[in-house]
Structure 1
Amino acid sequence: MPVQDSGQRQAAEPTTGDRDSRLHPRYRTLYFVDTLHGSDVLSVWERPEPQPRAAPVPLSRAKIAATAIRLADAHGLDGVSVRKIAKELGVGPMRLYDYVLNKSELLDLMVDAVYAQIAEAGQQSEWRATVLAIVHRTRDAALEHEWFADLLGARPHLGPHALAVGESTAAALSQAPGVRGIDDLQRALGALNAFIIGALRREVTERRTARSTGTDMSTWQAALGPYLTRMLETGRYPTVARLVIDGTHLNAEETFHHNLTTVLDGITSFPDT
């Protein structure tokens, strides 16, 4: 039995789903912590791994998360379920509930495993280089695991690797000129995160659209060329016409970097007085 800190306690909760579970219910251990607001169930990050046991297939949260990520990479988040993961691992679904209580915790583990990749960017020699490295590593991770972009922008991710990335980013931005207090830092982080989420979702959506329709952006534009030409010849859209006629197809990575540096220039400069 794991050693508990003072204020922590355990309780057993019956689970269902096994054959003959009405006669012989299985139990999973729930860990609680006493707080000023009562007793709360410990998060997946605070609960100890289940004790190893003799079984043909050893499990761990890391192994479960890695399997879930492979499924999500191949089939998207809709292709991830406890039952499908269990099948991939060659175990019964109920074994997984010893490690995660629900799908929300499973997603937390998956997301934090991706943040572990992002954290590899590490600290650079100065604040701007650190932010650039983290954000470009985030883009790399989102393009490798497209489902990751779907989970950005909601509530903050609070796993240990996500917190480490957040700490590195916030600490770097706090050193930037123009960031002179906590309010400036909050605004800077908000603007940076808004850019990251919007840019990554747009790029991932375009990749998915190209796959699902069988046409890339250039092919789509060529198909609509005659219609667009007729509309532009009306003279009602002169600026759009300039973009279409004079503009070129920009490289996605170069454009991401250019826009990122523009955002950093804006959010870290001293405001006009």
Structure 2
Amino acid sequence: MARTKVQLSRETIAAAALAIADAEGFEAVSMRRVAQELNVGTMSLYYYVKTKDDLIAVMDDALMSVALLESVPKNWKPAITAIATRTHSMFLRHPWALVSMQSAPSGVNAMRHMEQCLEALAKTSMTAKQKLTLLAMVDDFVFGHALREAASEKEVDLEFATAQIATGDFPQIAEIFKGGRIEIGKDRFQVGLGLLLEQYDPQRPKLSPERRRS
């Protein structure tokens, strides 16, 4: 039985493309494959999305809409925490986007995301440079943790690891895992983010090279 055609729009096209990427990987996304998913002719998509790059752009814009808050908390630390947590959760649901969306042009929702970040810091005494530095650090943490989480989903070759430990060449690894596999704290994203925001002090004087070496 043929599927019912959907009402085409940039939003429905983006949703179909995201569903394909989630299920089959970003490499499976194409204008033809999206048309099949929507049960329409490929040429009918070009009225809404002109090129493959345009398709990637609408996908990225749809992803960034998920990262937006309904309202930004008044205090900057809870606000940045909420924004970072929402963005992190989005990447955990769509881990392929961590790499595949890096070249996507900024859309209106990416601009709204940046606007919310700056709104969170608007009432602080930070300079423009300090605000952007903090946001870059938070982005580094969010992306890095999400990449690590995506990588942890891959199966570890336990047979290889066990054989290598048995050689005696890795005493520290053997010691740490002698009781079996250890579950790392699930709250480490929130703990790490909290520490980053708590310790960020743009007014703190920089250490001299001599003091850094001590």
TM-score (norm 2): 0.80
2:97 aligned residue: 148
Paired with 1:257 and 1:128, the residues of 2 have a C-alpha distance of: 12
Q: 1:136 to 1:242 in 2, by over 3 A?
A: farther
Paired with 1:93 and 1:116, the residues of 2 have a C-alpha distance of: 26
Q: 1:171 to 1:125 in 2, by over 3 A?
A: closer
2:120 aligned residue: 172
Matched, 1:137 2:86: yes
Alignment of 1:93-242 (within 5 A): 93-120=42-69, 122-151=71-100, 154=102, 158-176=106-124, 180-207=126-153, 209-210=154-155, 217=156, 220-221=157-158, 224-228=161-165, 230-233=168-171
More strand by proportion, 1 or 2? 1
Q: 1:155 to 1:192 in 2, by over 3 A?
A: farther
Amino acid of the structure 2 residue aligned with 1:163: M
More helix by proportion, 1 or 2? 2
Paired with 1:167 and 1:76, the residues of 2 have a C-alpha distance of: 30
Q: CA deviation at 1:198?
A: 1.4
Task: Give per-residue Cα distances to partners, 1:28-84, cap 9 Å, x unaligned.
Answer: xxxxxxxxxxxxxxxxxxxxxxxxxxxx65311111111111111101111110001
Indicate conservation of the 8 Å contact 1:121/1:137, yes or no: no
| Runs of 5+ unmatched residues, structure 2 | 207-214
Q: How many residues align?
A: 200
Amino acid of the structure 1 residue aligned with 2:165: L
- Larger RCO (CA under 8 A, 6+ residues apart): 2
Please report the RMSD computed on the Cα atoms of aligned residues, expressed in angstroms.
Answer: 2.7
Q: 1:272 to 1:228 in 2, by over 3 A?
A: farther
TM-score (norm 1): 0.64
Task: Give per-residue Cα distances to partners, 1:167-203, cap 9 Å, x unaligned.
Answer: 1112223545xx6211112211221111111111121
Matched, 1:257 2:190: yes
Paired with 1:169 and 1:84, the residues of 2 have a C-alpha distance of: 35
Look up the SS of the partner of 1:183 in the other structure: helix
Look up the SS of the partner of 1:224 in the other structure: helix
1:20 aligned residue: none
Paired with 2:9 and 2:178, the residues of 1 have a C-alpha distance of: 56
Q: 1:221 to 1:262 in 2, by over 3 A?
A: farther
Amino acid of the structure 2 residue aligned with 1:197: F
| Runs of 5+ unmatched residues, structure 1 | 1-55, 211-216
Paired with 1:132 and 1:121, the residues of 2 have a C-alpha distance of: 14
Greater C-alpha radius of gyration: 1
Amino acid of the structure 2 residue aligned with 1:81: S
Paired with 1:57 and 1:132, the residues of 2 have a C-alpha distance of: 38
Q: 1:242 to 1:265 in 2, by over 3 A?
A: farther
Indicate conservation of the 8 Å contact 2:20/2:29, yes or no: yes
